[in-house]
């Protein structure tokens, strides 16, 4: 029953996304691209809608979860029936390419579901909140708020929860799955979370479709081939790790927040590109929805949204009125969808540092020169007096070293970052392509932002490194990096691509 | 090669190499699936590799990392390795964990002393002059930076920890065999560094399973909302390690059962905040026993409405004997509503 419920939820989520996705005539796509994009739109919309309704005072009770699911399914089904007569674009993938994407995508789903939740963050940061939503249905249950008193100060005797103000996107999806199956299952609540890695290449191909077959194909392949999409540092300790594959703390797949943020962010960019190219207001709204979905998965989604706005402002300020209108629609949709969560978040206790408050030039300047905060290290504290305390390394040097190690770590990233460097719009032709400019700037801005965050973090950086920082943050930029790399294969109309290979696509003129 | 041709070739070359990176997921995904299959699609504790107690390689890396994190040059460290046999009273072997560790540490320039109750004659044949030999435990302990306990020899389990602390220069005790009582080591003023922690994650601990089940059975007929549980840690808390936060595990497993903890916001925070929480109680609590005295306990009961108290001695290893669920004293006034509703 639990399995069937989870399958039904995934189906309804996908159908909801199908209902949101603009028509095939406006945004041509093949079946693969459509399935992937639709799932991401649905997976954004469903938990955001649940949050909005909870914010309005409704309890996330079984009847509400079921009503939402069935409504989503019904609307989607109606849309699927309406679209029957509109053909999809034919797939341009060769058999081996289908096998490549299929193996990695289906493999990632099977691996996610092959074990119950088995990592610290997925269990304690997310699934516990999902359990609270499932059992109590209240986004202000004392389980969330009971560690502080009415004055907002720490209660002397409080309830236990790690990061109570982490976003509720994953917990809501898990609670939906539990309601659909009438029971909480540590394995099957992951079902709606099993499709992120499968969807990423598809949405990148969808986003790059207007630029021709090859950019779409290579962008998708670059993303799918990046090891970090599945696990990091795999085989770092040698071949004996094979017997422990999937058991360690280095798996990206599963119930964590970084992968859904990365994939929904990529989905948002894909929709935005298509919205601007089509042009299509509904697609712009879809981009805003996906961006809000990304924010609802992990707090860094807000930072990514900020980077995107800045990248568009700086890299393409002279876009026409229509482009600005579409961007405005995307931003407005994002704000509307994210507002219930952002307001609600203010009511939750915060046990992590507020980076927004620390993100000031004076604090950054101070940390640029500062030494590592060794006194925050539990290891130093366990070891008593420390030589490290006498000669602590500079925080700046440590952060730079960690980023450099990631850029050159083939086991985790392949050659993604070298390719990205190569894909920067060095030539005049590529520089004229607006998407190449703003995608590149977005990735560069994101990297700079994450570097600054490491610079000002109040915690001991050496300890953070052990938890997968900064690679888990850099993962958020995989989508735009892969898209920018895919655009390496874009060539203006005069290129020698055969019309037969282009199927129904046409190369765009530089914006 | 003209500039016009460099670009496509470089592009193709870099992309080709990048796509080779797909070999990692191509290996990882089937390996992870087969690993799960091998465990019946449940995380199999045995698959985590290292034996639950002691692995020389793991300990070697952990010890090195410890020094590195403190910016200490291993060549400036003097270590006494206790126990060269695989098990108490067993044969002294070159392949025993103690011997392997002694040799490896000496190999990177650490000044190593070794001791075994059976004497050192046999060890000289394979350790040679890389290490020095202590015929007497206390002679060996004088002025060392660290002690490394490699087996559960009775002489080590029962050694006078206060005396040991007074003999050592620095106070690190690496317990690789799970031979010592961490609380007693910490109480003697030594830094207890548990290396015998099971390799599997905390939530797979078999004793945690057993204890959670026992609690569920005991409380089965009591509605969770009417029977909150107050967690009461006991001092000394011998570890700052996140693994000793067993309250997180019970809180997740047993939800909607309600657990309360003193200063929960700090205890549930990051590892650094948890360390702050431990140090707060080390400084402000009694030397031994429950962190809440009778008056504070009554206040906590009044505030939370707890009907049960769960007393425990924090440790990196979950041991059922460290935990005790007992009925809470009756409240002297109604539970503070702001806490719960």
Q: Residue A41 and residue A14: Cα distance in Å, rounded? A: 8
Percentage, residues of chain B above pLDDT 70: 90
Helix or strand (DSSP H, E) at A158: strand A157-159
Tokens 């590195």 belong to residue: B68
Residues of A in contact with B41 (CB under 8 A): 114-115, 187
Cβ of A114 and B170 within 8 Å? no
Helix axes A2-20, A169-181, angle to 10 degrees: 130
Per-residue pLDDT at B49 exceeds 80: no
Note the pLDDT of residue B316: 78
| A176-195 residues touching B, CB cutoff 8 A | 187
Cβ of B32 and A227 within 8 Å? no
Q: How far is B190 from chain A (nearest CA, A)?
A: 9
Cβ of A115 and B303 within 8 Å? no
Per-residue pLDDT at B257 exceeds 60: yes
Q: How far is A74 from chain B (nearest CA, A)?
A: 33
For A383, which of B66, B271, B272 is closest by C-beta distance? B66
The DSSP output letter for A211 is G
CB B194 within 8 Å of CB B248: no
A314-332 per-position pLDDT tens digit:
999 988 899 999 999 999 9
Poorest-confidence range of A117-126, A171-180, A434-443, B118-127? B118-127
Note the pLDDT of residue B249: 97
Peptide bond into B256 cis (omega under 30): yes
Cβ of B338 and A142 within 8 Å? no
Per-residue pLDDT at B340 exceeds 60: no
Domains of chain B and CATH, by start:
13-42 (no CATH), 56-194 (3.40.50.720), 202-327 (no CATH)
Q: Residue A451 and residue A178: Cα distance in Å, rounded? A: 38
Please classify residue B171 by burial: count the beta carbons closer than 10 Å to its beta carbon, then call 0-12 exposed, 13-18 middle and 19+ buried. Answer: buried
Q: How far is B329 from chain A (nearest CA, A)?
A: 16
| B244-303 residues touching A, CB cutoff 8 A | 247-248, 251-252, 255-256, 258-273, 275, 279, 299-300, 303
For A230, which of B25, B42, B263 is closest by C-beta distance? B25
Residues of B in contact with A187 (CB under 8 A): 41
Note the pLDDT of residue B320: 86
The pLDDT-based confidence of B195 (bands split at 50, 70, 90) is confident
Per-residue pLDDT at A26 exceeds 50: yes
Report how far Cα A284 is from the mean position of its chain's Cα atoms: 18
For B252, which of A128, A376, A489 is closest by C-beta distance? A128
The pLDDT-based confidence of B61 (bands split at 50, 70, 90) is low
| B185-214 residues touching A, CB cutoff 8 A | 191, 193, 201, 203-204
Instruction: Label residue B178 left, alpha or beta by phi (over 0 means left) and psi (-120 to 50 means alpha).
Output: left
Percentage, residues of chain A above pLDDT 90: 76
User: What is the reported pTM?
Assistant: 0.85
SS3 category, A154: strand
The pLDDT-based confidence of A493 (bands split at 50, 70, 90) is low
List the structure tokens of A148.
């502080």
The β-bridge partners of B175 are B149, B194
Note the pLDDT of residue A501: 33
Name the closest residue on chain A to residue B262, using Cα atoms.
A157
The pLDDT-based confidence of B318 (bands split at 50, 70, 90) is confident
Write down the domain spans for chain A: 2-78+95-506
Residues of A in contact with B203 (CB under 8 A): 118, 123
Name the closest residue on chain A to residue B275, using Cα atoms.
A378
Torsional sign, CA B222, B224, B228, B231: positive
């Amino acid at each position: 029953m639990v399995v069937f419920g989870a399958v039904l939820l995934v189906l309804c989520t996908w159908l909801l996304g199908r209902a949101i996705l603009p028509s095939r005539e406006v945004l041509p796509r093949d079946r693969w691209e459509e399935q992937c994009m639709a799932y991401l739109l649905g997976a954004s919309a469903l938990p955001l809608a649940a949050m909005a309704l909870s914010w309005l005072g409704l309890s996330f009770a079984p009847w509400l979860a079921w009503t939402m699911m069935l409504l989503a399914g019904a609307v989607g089904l109606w849309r699927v029936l309406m679209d029957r007569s509109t053909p999809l674009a034919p797939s341009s993938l060769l058999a081996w390419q289908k096998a490549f994407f299929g193996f990695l995508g289906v493999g990632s789903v099977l691996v996610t579901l092959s074990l119950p939740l088995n990592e610290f963050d997925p269990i304690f940061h997310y699934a516990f909140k999902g359990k609270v939503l499932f059992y109590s249905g209240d986004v202000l249950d004392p389980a969330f708020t009971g560690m502080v008193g009415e004055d907002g100060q720490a209660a002397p005797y409080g309830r236990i929860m790690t990061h109570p103000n982490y976003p509720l996107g994953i917990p809501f999806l898990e609670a939906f799955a539990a309601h659909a199956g009438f029971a909480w299952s540590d394995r099957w609540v992951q079902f709606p979370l099993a499709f992120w890695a499968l969807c990423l290449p598809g949405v990148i191909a969808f986003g790059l479709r207007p630029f021709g077959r090859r950019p779409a194909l290579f962008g998708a392949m670059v993303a799918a081939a990046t090891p970090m999409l599945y696990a990091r540092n795999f085989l770092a300790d040698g071949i004996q790790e094979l017997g422990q594959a999937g058991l360690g703390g280095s798996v990206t797949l599963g119930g964590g927040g970084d992968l859904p943020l990365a994939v929904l962010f990529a989905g948002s960019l894909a929709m935005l590109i298509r919205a601007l190219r089509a042009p299509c207001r509904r697609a712009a709204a879809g981009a805003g929805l996906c961006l809000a979905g990304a924010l609802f998965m992990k707090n860094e989604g807000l930072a990514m949204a900020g980077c995107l706005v800045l990248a568009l402002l700086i890299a393409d300020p002279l876009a026409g009125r229509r482009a600005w209108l579409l961007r405005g629609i995307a931003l407005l949709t994002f704000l509307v969808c994210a507002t219930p969560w952002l307001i609600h978040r203010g009511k939750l206790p915060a046990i992590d540092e507020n980076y927004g408050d620390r993100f000031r030039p004076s604090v950054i300047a101070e940390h640029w020169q500062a030494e590592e905060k060794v006194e925050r290290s539990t290891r130093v504290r366990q070891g008593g007096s420390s030589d490290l305390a006498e000669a602590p390394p500079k925080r700046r040097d440590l952060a730079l070293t960690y980023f450099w190690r990631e850029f050159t770590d083939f086991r985790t990233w392949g050659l993604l970052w070298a390719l990205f460097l190569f894909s920067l719009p060095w030539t005049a032709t590529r520089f004229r392509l607006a998407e190449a400019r703003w995608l590149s700037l977005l990735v560069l801005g994101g990297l700079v932002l994450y570097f600054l965050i490491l610079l000002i973090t109040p915690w001991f950086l050496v300890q953070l490194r052990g938890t997968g920082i900064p690679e888990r943050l850099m993962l958020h930029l995989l989508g735009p990096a892969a898209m920018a790399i895919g655009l390496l294969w874009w060539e203006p109309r005069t290129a020698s691509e055969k019309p037969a290979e282009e199927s129904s696509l046409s190369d765009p003129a530089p914006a | 090669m003209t500039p016009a041709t460099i670009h496509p070739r470089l592009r193709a070359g870099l992309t080709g190499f990048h796509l080779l990176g797909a070999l990692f997921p191509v290996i990882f995904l089937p390996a992870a699936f087969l690993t799960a299959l091998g465990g019946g699609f449940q995380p199999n504790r045995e698959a985590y590799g290292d034996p639950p107690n002691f692995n020389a390689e793991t300990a070697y890396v952990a010890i090195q990392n410890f020094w590195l994190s403190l910016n200490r040059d291993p060549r400036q460290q003097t270590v006494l390795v206790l126990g060269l046999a695989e098990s108490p009273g067993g044969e002294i072997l070159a392949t025993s964990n103690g011997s392997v560790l002694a040799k490896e540490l000496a190999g990177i320039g650490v000044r190593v002393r070794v001791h075994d109750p059976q004497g050192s004659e046999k060890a000289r044949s394979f350790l040679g002059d890389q290490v020095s030999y202590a015929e007497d435990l206390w002679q060996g302990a004088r002025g060392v930076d660290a002690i490394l306990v490699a087996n559960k020899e009775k002489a080590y389990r029962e050694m006078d920890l206060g005396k040991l602390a007074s003999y050592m220069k620095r106070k690190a005790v690496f317990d690789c065999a799970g031979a010592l009582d961490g609380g007693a080591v910490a109480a003697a003023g030594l830094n207890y560094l548990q290396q015998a922690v099971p390799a599997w994650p905390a939530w797979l601990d078999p004793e945690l399973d057993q204890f959670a089940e026992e609690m569920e059975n005991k409380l089965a007929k009591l509605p969770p909302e009417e029977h909150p549980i107050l967690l009461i840690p006991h001092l000394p808390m011998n570890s700052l390690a996140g693994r000793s936060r067993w309250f997180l595990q019970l809180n997740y497993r047993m939800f909607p059962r309600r657990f309360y903890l003193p200063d929960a916001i700090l205890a549930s925070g990051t590892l650094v905040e948890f360390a702050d929480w431990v140090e707060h109680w080390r400084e402000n609590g009694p030397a031994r026993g429950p962190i809440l005295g009778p008056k504070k306990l009554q206040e906590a009961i009044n505030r939370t409405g707890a009907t049960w108290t769960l007393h425990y001695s924090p440790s990196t290893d979950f041991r059922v004997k460290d935990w005790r669920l007992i009925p809470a004293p009756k409240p002297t006034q109604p539970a503070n509503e702001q806490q719960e509703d």
